Structure 1
Amino acid sequence: MIFTDVVFYVLAAILLFSGIRVITTRNPVHAALFLVLAFFTAAGIWLLLEAEFLAIALILVYVGAVMVLFLFVVMMLDINLDKLREGFWEYLPMAGLIGLLMVVEMTLVLADKNLQPSQAVELPANYSNTAALGKVLYTDYLLPFELAAVVLLVAMIAAIVLTLRERKDNKSMNPSEQVKVKRNDRLRIVSMPAEVEPPEPVPAPAKEEKK
Protein backbone atom coordinates (compact mmCIF):
# COMPACT_ATOMS: atom_id res chain seq x y z
CA MET A 1 0.00 0.00 0.00
CA ILE A 2 1.48 3.30 -1.11
CA PHE A 3 1.08 6.70 0.50
CA THR A 4 -1.68 7.86 -1.88
CA ASP A 5 -3.79 4.85 -0.92
CA VAL A 6 -3.48 5.74 2.76
CA VAL A 7 -4.50 9.33 2.02
CA PHE A 8 -7.46 8.11 -0.03
CA TYR A 9 -8.79 5.84 2.72
CA VAL A 10 -8.36 8.57 5.34
CA LEU A 11 -10.23 11.11 3.19
CA ALA A 12 -12.92 8.56 2.35
CA ALA A 13 -13.46 7.77 6.05
CA ILE A 14 -13.73 11.49 6.88
CA LEU A 15 -16.13 11.98 3.95
CA LEU A 16 -18.42 9.15 5.10
CA PHE A 17 -18.36 10.37 8.71
CA SER A 18 -19.17 13.96 7.76
CA GLY A 19 -21.93 12.82 5.38
CA ILE A 20 -23.57 10.77 8.12
CA ARG A 21 -23.30 13.65 10.59
CA VAL A 22 -25.00 15.99 8.12
CA ILE A 23 -28.24 14.00 8.36
CA THR A 24 -27.98 12.94 12.01
CA THR A 25 -26.99 16.14 13.82
CA ARG A 26 -29.81 18.19 15.32
CA ASN A 27 -28.28 21.62 14.96
CA PRO A 28 -28.63 22.95 11.37
CA VAL A 29 -25.48 25.08 11.73
CA HIS A 30 -23.46 22.01 12.72
CA ALA A 31 -24.98 20.11 9.79
CA ALA A 32 -23.86 22.84 7.40
CA LEU A 33 -20.35 22.80 8.85
CA PHE A 34 -20.15 19.02 8.46
CA LEU A 35 -21.26 19.47 4.85
CA VAL A 36 -18.41 21.96 4.34
CA LEU A 37 -16.03 19.33 5.73
CA ALA A 38 -17.48 16.79 3.30
CA PHE A 39 -16.86 19.16 0.39
CA PHE A 40 -13.26 19.72 1.45
CA THR A 41 -12.54 15.99 1.71
CA ALA A 42 -14.22 15.38 -1.66
CA ALA A 43 -11.97 18.07 -3.13
CA GLY A 44 -8.98 16.23 -1.65
CA ILE A 45 -10.07 13.04 -3.41
CA TRP A 46 -10.37 14.98 -6.67
CA LEU A 47 -6.79 16.16 -6.17
CA LEU A 48 -5.64 12.56 -5.78
CA LEU A 49 -7.25 11.83 -9.14
CA GLU A 50 -5.30 14.75 -10.65
CA ALA A 51 -8.50 16.72 -11.30
CA GLU A 52 -7.33 20.03 -9.88
CA PHE A 53 -9.93 22.09 -11.71
CA LEU A 54 -12.86 20.13 -10.27
CA ALA A 55 -11.36 20.31 -6.78
CA ILE A 56 -10.90 24.08 -6.93
CA ALA A 57 -14.37 24.54 -8.45
CA LEU A 58 -15.90 22.44 -5.66
CA ILE A 59 -14.25 24.58 -3.00
CA LEU A 60 -14.92 27.96 -4.63
CA VAL A 61 -18.50 27.32 -5.74
CA TYR A 62 -19.95 25.15 -2.98
CA VAL A 63 -17.82 25.98 0.06
CA GLY A 64 -17.07 29.59 -0.82
CA ALA A 65 -20.49 30.62 -2.08
CA VAL A 66 -23.34 28.17 -1.54
CA MET A 67 -22.52 27.00 1.97
CA VAL A 68 -21.58 30.48 3.21
CA LEU A 69 -24.93 31.78 1.97
CA PHE A 70 -26.70 28.80 3.55
CA LEU A 71 -25.00 29.47 6.88
CA PHE A 72 -26.03 33.13 6.77
CA VAL A 73 -29.64 32.13 6.09
CA VAL A 74 -29.68 29.52 8.85
CA MET A 75 -28.16 31.85 11.44
CA MET A 76 -30.35 34.82 10.53
CA LEU A 77 -33.66 32.92 10.55
CA ASP A 78 -35.34 31.83 13.74
CA ILE A 79 -35.62 28.10 13.02
CA ASN A 80 -37.81 25.99 15.26
CA LEU A 81 -35.90 22.74 15.61
CA ASP A 82 -38.77 20.90 17.27
CA LYS A 83 -41.02 21.68 14.32
CA LEU A 84 -38.39 20.51 11.86
CA ARG A 85 -38.10 17.15 13.59
CA GLU A 86 -41.85 16.55 13.39
CA GLY A 87 -42.75 13.70 11.06
CA PHE A 88 -39.18 12.38 10.84
CA TRP A 89 -40.16 8.78 11.49
CA GLU A 90 -43.03 9.00 9.01
CA TYR A 91 -40.65 9.62 6.10
CA LEU A 92 -38.01 7.16 7.31
CA PRO A 93 -39.33 4.10 5.35
CA MET A 94 -39.42 6.04 2.07
CA ALA A 95 -35.97 7.50 2.72
CA GLY A 96 -34.60 4.04 3.56
CA LEU A 97 -36.05 2.61 0.33
CA ILE A 98 -34.50 5.40 -1.76
CA GLY A 99 -31.16 4.95 0.00
CA LEU A 100 -31.26 1.20 -0.63
CA LEU A 101 -31.95 1.79 -4.33
CA MET A 102 -28.98 4.17 -4.53
CA VAL A 103 -26.72 1.58 -2.89
CA VAL A 104 -27.86 -1.07 -5.39
CA GLU A 105 -27.25 1.29 -8.31
CA MET A 106 -23.77 2.20 -7.09
CA THR A 107 -22.95 -1.48 -6.60
CA LEU A 108 -24.03 -2.31 -10.15
CA VAL A 109 -22.02 0.59 -11.52
CA LEU A 110 -18.86 -0.35 -9.63
CA ALA A 111 -19.25 -4.03 -10.59
CA ASP A 112 -19.25 -3.18 -14.30
CA LYS A 113 -16.11 -4.51 -15.97
CA ASN A 114 -15.96 -1.56 -18.35
CA LEU A 115 -15.51 0.81 -15.42
CA GLN A 116 -12.63 -1.04 -13.81
CA PRO A 117 -9.49 1.08 -13.35
CA SER A 118 -7.04 0.72 -16.16
CA GLN A 119 -3.33 1.32 -16.24
CA ALA A 120 -2.18 4.87 -15.80
CA VAL A 121 -1.36 6.74 -18.98
CA GLU A 122 1.76 8.85 -19.12
CA LEU A 123 0.86 12.44 -19.96
CA PRO A 124 3.19 15.16 -21.22
CA ALA A 125 4.41 17.86 -18.84
CA ASN A 126 2.38 20.61 -20.54
CA TYR A 127 -0.88 18.64 -20.34
CA SER A 128 -3.82 20.59 -18.90
CA ASN A 129 -6.80 18.64 -17.63
CA THR A 130 -8.79 21.88 -17.51
CA ALA A 131 -8.33 22.40 -21.24
CA ALA A 132 -9.17 18.74 -21.90
CA LEU A 133 -12.32 19.01 -19.79
CA GLY A 134 -13.40 22.18 -21.60
CA LYS A 135 -12.77 20.59 -24.99
CA VAL A 136 -14.88 17.55 -24.17
CA LEU A 137 -17.60 19.63 -22.51
CA TYR A 138 -18.02 22.07 -25.41
CA THR A 139 -17.70 19.51 -28.22
CA ASP A 140 -19.07 16.08 -27.31
CA TYR A 141 -21.45 17.24 -24.56
CA LEU A 142 -22.43 20.66 -25.88
CA LEU A 143 -26.16 19.90 -26.11
CA PRO A 144 -26.47 18.44 -22.56
CA PHE A 145 -24.47 21.41 -21.27
CA GLU A 146 -26.84 23.88 -22.93
CA LEU A 147 -29.88 21.97 -21.65
CA ALA A 148 -28.48 22.04 -18.12
CA ALA A 149 -27.93 25.80 -18.45
CA VAL A 150 -31.55 26.28 -19.58
CA VAL A 151 -32.83 24.18 -16.68
CA LEU A 152 -30.81 26.26 -14.21
CA LEU A 153 -32.10 29.47 -15.78
CA VAL A 154 -35.70 28.28 -15.50
CA ALA A 155 -35.10 27.26 -11.88
CA MET A 156 -33.65 30.68 -11.08
CA ILE A 157 -36.60 32.49 -12.67
CA ALA A 158 -39.05 30.18 -10.87
CA ALA A 159 -37.38 30.90 -7.53
CA ILE A 160 -37.64 34.64 -8.14
CA VAL A 161 -41.31 34.37 -9.13
CA LEU A 162 -42.19 32.19 -6.14
CA THR A 163 -40.53 34.54 -3.67
CA LEU A 164 -42.03 37.67 -5.23
CA ARG A 165 -45.06 38.67 -3.25
CA GLU A 166 -47.17 41.70 -4.06
CA ARG A 167 -48.07 43.72 -0.99
CA LYS A 168 -50.56 46.53 -0.81
CA ASP A 169 -48.25 48.68 1.29
CA ASN A 170 -45.26 48.05 -0.95
CA LYS A 171 -44.20 51.07 -3.01
CA SER A 172 -42.50 50.12 -6.26
CA MET A 173 -41.41 52.07 -9.32
CA ASN A 174 -41.92 51.37 -13.00
CA PRO A 175 -38.96 52.69 -15.00
CA SER A 176 -40.87 52.69 -18.30
CA GLU A 177 -43.57 54.93 -16.83
CA GLN A 178 -40.97 57.23 -15.27
CA VAL A 179 -39.29 57.79 -18.64
CA LYS A 180 -42.59 58.76 -20.30
CA VAL A 181 -43.47 61.33 -17.63
CA LYS A 182 -43.78 64.94 -18.83
CA ARG A 183 -43.61 68.20 -16.94
CA ASN A 184 -47.35 68.77 -16.95
CA ASP A 185 -47.93 65.33 -15.42
CA ARG A 186 -45.94 66.13 -12.30
CA LEU A 187 -46.05 69.94 -12.04
CA ARG A 188 -49.16 72.08 -11.72
CA ILE A 189 -49.11 75.88 -11.30
CA VAL A 190 -51.97 77.16 -9.19
CA SER A 191 -52.88 80.86 -8.98
CA MET A 192 -53.68 81.79 -5.42
CA PRO A 193 -54.65 85.23 -4.07
CA ALA A 194 -52.12 87.05 -1.99
CA GLU A 195 -52.60 86.75 1.71
CA VAL A 196 -53.43 89.99 3.55
CA GLU A 197 -52.59 90.27 7.17
CA PRO A 198 -55.64 91.17 9.29
CA PRO A 199 -55.54 94.56 11.08
CA GLU A 200 -54.53 94.62 14.64
CA PRO A 201 -57.52 94.80 17.02
CA VAL A 202 -58.14 98.23 18.68
CA PRO A 203 -58.31 97.97 22.46
CA ALA A 204 -61.69 98.94 23.90
CA PRO A 205 -61.78 102.10 26.15
CA ALA A 206 -61.80 101.44 29.82
CA LYS A 207 -65.07 102.25 31.68
CA GLU A 208 -65.06 104.87 34.42
CA GLU A 209 -65.90 103.65 37.89
CA LYS A 210 -68.95 105.21 39.60
CA LYS A 211 -68.38 107.00 42.89
Structure 2
Amino acid sequence: MEFKTFLFYAFSAILVIAALRVVTARNPVHAALFLVLSFFSAAALWMLLKAEFLSIVLVLVYVGAVMVLFLFVVMMVDIDIGKMREGFWNHAPLAAIVGAIIVLEMAAVLFRGFLTLDTDVPAASANIGNTKELGKLIYTEYVYAFEIAAIVLLVAIVAAVALTLRRRKDVKYFSPSDAVKVKSKDRVRIVSMKAESNRTSAQQAGTPAVKQK
Protein backbone atom coordinates (compact mmCIF):
# COMPACT_ATOMS: atom_id res chain seq x y z
CA MET A 1 0.00 0.00 0.00
CA GLU A 2 1.32 3.41 -0.96
CA PHE A 3 1.69 6.16 1.62
CA LYS A 4 -0.83 8.35 -0.26
CA THR A 5 -3.41 5.56 -0.14
CA PHE A 6 -2.77 5.09 3.58
CA LEU A 7 -3.32 8.81 4.19
CA PHE A 8 -6.56 8.68 2.20
CA TYR A 9 -7.99 5.85 4.31
CA ALA A 10 -6.76 7.44 7.55
CA PHE A 11 -8.36 10.83 6.84
CA SER A 12 -11.52 9.11 5.58
CA ALA A 13 -11.84 7.16 8.84
CA ILE A 14 -11.29 10.32 10.89
CA LEU A 15 -13.91 12.13 8.80
CA VAL A 16 -16.53 9.41 9.30
CA ILE A 17 -15.89 9.17 13.07
CA ALA A 18 -15.98 12.96 13.49
CA ALA A 19 -19.23 13.22 11.49
CA LEU A 20 -20.83 10.56 13.70
CA ARG A 21 -19.72 12.40 16.82
CA VAL A 22 -21.26 15.64 15.51
CA VAL A 23 -24.64 13.92 15.54
CA THR A 24 -24.23 11.86 18.72
CA ALA A 25 -22.39 14.34 20.98
CA ARG A 26 -24.53 15.62 23.86
CA ASN A 27 -22.59 18.85 24.36
CA PRO A 28 -23.17 21.40 21.55
CA VAL A 29 -19.65 22.80 21.94
CA HIS A 30 -18.15 19.33 21.53
CA ALA A 31 -20.34 18.74 18.47
CA ALA A 32 -19.08 21.99 16.91
CA LEU A 33 -15.46 21.02 17.60
CA PHE A 34 -16.01 17.60 16.00
CA LEU A 35 -17.45 19.43 12.99
CA VAL A 36 -14.23 21.45 12.78
CA LEU A 37 -12.27 18.17 12.80
CA SER A 38 -14.44 16.79 10.01
CA PHE A 39 -13.83 19.93 7.94
CA PHE A 40 -10.07 19.59 8.38
CA SER A 41 -10.22 15.93 7.37
CA ALA A 42 -12.26 16.77 4.27
CA ALA A 43 -9.75 19.51 3.40
CA ALA A 44 -6.93 16.98 3.68
CA LEU A 45 -8.80 14.65 1.31
CA TRP A 46 -9.23 17.50 -1.18
CA MET A 47 -5.51 18.17 -0.93
CA LEU A 48 -4.71 14.52 -1.66
CA LEU A 49 -6.96 14.72 -4.74
CA LYS A 50 -4.93 17.75 -5.94
CA ALA A 51 -7.82 20.17 -5.45
CA GLU A 52 -5.82 22.77 -3.57
CA PHE A 53 -8.27 25.62 -4.13
CA LEU A 54 -11.24 23.73 -2.68
CA SER A 55 -9.14 22.58 0.25
CA ILE A 56 -8.02 26.11 1.17
CA VAL A 57 -11.53 27.51 0.71
CA LEU A 58 -12.95 24.81 2.99
CA VAL A 59 -10.48 25.70 5.74
CA LEU A 60 -10.76 29.49 5.38
CA VAL A 61 -14.53 29.80 4.91
CA TYR A 62 -15.99 27.01 7.02
CA VAL A 63 -13.36 26.54 9.73
CA GLY A 64 -12.17 30.13 9.89
CA ALA A 65 -15.52 31.92 9.66
CA VAL A 66 -18.61 29.75 9.88
CA MET A 67 -17.47 27.49 12.71
CA VAL A 68 -16.15 30.40 14.76
CA LEU A 69 -19.60 31.99 14.45
CA PHE A 70 -21.25 28.70 15.48
CA LEU A 71 -19.02 28.43 18.54
CA PHE A 72 -19.77 32.00 19.61
CA VAL A 73 -23.51 31.42 19.22
CA VAL A 74 -23.48 28.09 21.07
CA MET A 75 -21.30 29.37 23.93
CA MET A 76 -23.02 32.76 24.40
CA VAL A 77 -26.67 31.77 23.94
CA ASP A 78 -28.29 29.93 26.81
CA ILE A 79 -29.67 26.84 25.06
CA ASP A 80 -32.02 24.53 26.93
CA ILE A 81 -30.75 21.14 25.76
CA GLY A 82 -33.41 19.19 27.65
CA LYS A 83 -36.21 21.09 25.95
CA MET A 84 -34.64 20.56 22.54
CA ARG A 85 -34.48 16.79 23.04
CA GLU A 86 -38.10 16.40 24.10
CA GLY A 87 -39.43 15.85 20.57
CA PHE A 88 -36.41 13.97 19.21
CA TRP A 89 -38.05 10.57 18.80
CA ASN A 90 -41.20 12.14 17.37
CA HIS A 91 -39.25 13.62 14.47
CA ALA A 92 -36.79 10.72 14.12
CA PRO A 93 -38.74 8.81 11.38
CA LEU A 94 -39.06 11.90 9.17
CA ALA A 95 -35.38 12.74 9.70
CA ALA A 96 -34.41 9.16 8.78
CA ILE A 97 -36.45 9.33 5.55
CA VAL A 98 -34.90 12.68 4.56
CA GLY A 99 -31.42 11.35 5.35
CA ALA A 100 -32.01 8.21 3.25
CA ILE A 101 -33.18 10.33 0.30
CA ILE A 102 -30.06 12.51 0.54
CA VAL A 103 -27.81 9.44 0.67
CA LEU A 104 -29.52 7.93 -2.40
CA GLU A 105 -29.16 11.19 -4.33
CA MET A 106 -25.45 11.46 -3.50
CA ALA A 107 -24.93 7.79 -4.39
CA ALA A 108 -26.65 8.32 -7.76
CA VAL A 109 -24.47 11.34 -8.53
CA LEU A 110 -21.27 9.54 -7.52
CA PHE A 111 -22.21 6.37 -9.41
CA ARG A 112 -22.87 8.37 -12.55
CA GLY A 113 -19.55 10.13 -12.11
CA PHE A 114 -17.69 6.83 -11.77
CA LEU A 115 -19.35 5.49 -14.93
CA THR A 116 -18.35 8.53 -17.00
CA LEU A 117 -14.87 8.81 -15.50
CA ASP A 118 -12.32 9.71 -18.13
CA THR A 119 -8.70 9.07 -17.27
CA ASP A 120 -7.34 10.95 -20.28
CA VAL A 121 -6.55 14.48 -19.11
CA PRO A 122 -6.29 17.02 -21.94
CA ALA A 123 -2.83 18.41 -22.44
CA ALA A 124 -4.13 22.00 -22.47
CA SER A 125 -5.64 21.82 -18.98
CA ALA A 126 -2.42 20.50 -17.46
CA ASN A 127 -0.76 23.91 -17.80
CA ILE A 128 -3.76 25.97 -16.60
CA GLY A 129 -4.05 24.97 -12.95
CA ASN A 130 -6.96 23.94 -10.79
CA THR A 131 -8.05 27.43 -9.76
CA LYS A 132 -8.12 28.86 -13.28
CA GLU A 133 -9.86 25.78 -14.65
CA LEU A 134 -12.48 26.00 -11.90
CA GLY A 135 -13.06 29.68 -12.68
CA LYS A 136 -13.53 28.91 -16.38
CA LEU A 137 -16.11 26.22 -15.57
CA ILE A 138 -18.02 28.42 -13.11
CA TYR A 139 -18.29 31.45 -15.39
CA THR A 140 -18.97 29.53 -18.63
CA GLU A 141 -20.76 26.21 -18.22
CA TYR A 142 -22.19 26.69 -14.71
CA VAL A 143 -22.76 30.46 -14.75
CA TYR A 144 -26.55 30.18 -14.20
CA ALA A 145 -26.13 27.80 -11.26
CA PHE A 146 -23.53 30.17 -9.82
CA GLU A 147 -25.89 33.15 -10.11
CA ILE A 148 -28.76 31.21 -8.55
CA ALA A 149 -26.52 30.24 -5.61
CA ALA A 150 -25.54 33.90 -5.20
CA ILE A 151 -29.22 34.96 -5.13
CA VAL A 152 -30.01 32.28 -2.54
CA LEU A 153 -27.16 33.51 -0.34
CA LEU A 154 -28.33 37.11 -0.73
CA VAL A 155 -31.85 36.15 0.33
CA ALA A 156 -30.41 34.31 3.34
CA ILE A 157 -28.42 37.40 4.39
CA VAL A 158 -31.47 39.66 4.06
CA ALA A 159 -33.58 37.19 6.06
CA ALA A 160 -30.95 37.03 8.80
CA VAL A 161 -30.85 40.82 9.07
CA ALA A 162 -34.66 41.01 9.10
CA LEU A 163 -34.90 38.43 11.87
CA THR A 164 -32.28 40.28 13.90
CA LEU A 165 -34.02 43.68 13.59
CA ARG A 166 -37.51 42.43 14.36
CA ARG A 167 -39.28 44.07 17.28
CA ARG A 168 -39.51 41.94 20.38
CA LYS A 169 -41.24 42.80 23.65
CA ASP A 170 -38.42 41.55 25.86
CA VAL A 171 -35.67 43.48 24.04
CA LYS A 172 -35.17 47.25 23.97
CA TYR A 173 -35.53 48.38 20.37
CA PHE A 174 -34.58 51.64 18.73
CA SER A 175 -34.93 52.81 15.16
CA PRO A 176 -31.57 53.37 13.42
CA SER A 177 -33.11 55.99 11.12
CA ASP A 178 -34.41 58.00 14.10
CA ALA A 179 -30.98 57.79 15.78
CA VAL A 180 -29.31 59.18 12.67
CA LYS A 181 -31.78 62.08 12.30
CA VAL A 182 -31.59 63.19 15.94
CA LYS A 183 -30.26 66.71 16.70
CA SER A 184 -28.71 68.37 19.75
CA LYS A 185 -31.94 70.18 20.69
CA ASP A 186 -33.71 66.82 20.82
CA ARG A 187 -31.27 65.52 23.42
CA VAL A 188 -30.73 68.53 25.72
CA ARG A 189 -33.39 70.99 26.93
CA ILE A 190 -32.46 74.10 28.90
CA VAL A 191 -35.06 75.09 31.51
CA SER A 192 -35.03 78.55 33.17
CA MET A 193 -35.76 78.40 36.94
CA LYS A 194 -35.78 81.05 39.68
CA ALA A 195 -32.98 80.99 42.22
CA GLU A 196 -33.97 80.04 45.76
CA SER A 197 -32.20 80.74 49.06
CA ASN A 198 -32.11 78.35 52.00
CA ARG A 199 -32.44 81.25 54.52
CA THR A 200 -35.58 82.60 52.83
CA SER A 201 -37.28 79.23 52.72
CA ALA A 202 -36.41 78.56 56.37
CA GLN A 203 -37.88 81.93 57.54
CA GLN A 204 -41.07 81.28 55.67
CA ALA A 205 -41.41 77.93 57.41
CA GLY A 206 -41.10 79.66 60.85
CA THR A 207 -37.83 78.05 61.83
CA PRO A 208 -34.56 79.85 62.47
CA ALA A 209 -32.15 79.78 59.60
CA VAL A 210 -28.91 77.90 60.06
CA LYS A 211 -25.95 80.21 59.95
CA GLN A 212 -23.40 78.95 57.52
CA LYS A 213 -19.76 79.40 58.33
TM-score when normalising by structure 1: 0.77
1:43 aligns with 2:46: no
How far apart in 2 are the matches of 1:182 and 1:103? Answer: 62
Task: Give the corresponding residue for 1:204.
Answer: none
How far apart in 1 are the matches of 2:190 and 2:87? Answer: 66
1:163-187 CA-partner distances (Å, limit 9, x unpaired)? 21336853444269738x798x899
Give the greater-gyration-radius structure (CA).
Answer: 1
CA gap 1:139/1:187 in 2 versus in 1, 3 angstroms:
same
Give the conservation status (yes or no) of the 8 Å contact 1:110–1:116: no
1:60 aligns with 2:63: no
**Cα displacement (A) at 1:103:** 2.7
* Map 1:1-211 → 2, pairs under 5 A: 1-112=1-112, 115-119=115-119, 121=121, 126-166=127-167, 170-174=173-177, 178=181
CA gap 1:3/1:172 in 2 versus in 1, 3 angstroms:
same
Task: Give the corresponding residue for 2:208.
Answer: none
Amino acid at match of 1:33: L
**Cα displacement (A) at 1:42:** 0.5
**Cα displacement (A) at 1:198:** 11
CA gap 1:9/1:76 in 2 versus in 1, 3 angstroms:
same
CA gap 1:74/1:110 in 2 versus in 1, 3 angstroms:
same
Q: Where does the alignment leave 5 or more consecutive residues of structure 1 unmatched?
A: 202-211
Which has the bigger relative contact order, CA under 8 A and spacing at least 6?
1
How far apart in 2 are the matches of 1:93 and 1:193? Answer: 74
Identical pairs, percent: 53
1:60-97 CA-partner distances (Å, limit 9, x unpaired)? 00000000111011111122221121111111111112
**Deviates further, 140-149 or 108-117:** 108-117
CA gap 1:186/1:147 in 2 versus in 1, 3 angstroms:
same
Could you say which structure has the higher helix fraction? Answer: 2
1:114-137 CA-partner distances (Å, limit 9, x unpaired)? 645432637677532111111211
How far apart in 2 are the matches of 1:33 and 1:193? Answer: 64
Query: Across the two proteins, how many residue pairs are aligned to each other?
Result: 198
**Cα displacement (A) at 1:145:** 1.3
TM-score when normalising by structure 2: 0.77
How far apart in 2 are the matches of 1:106 and 1:193? Answer: 79
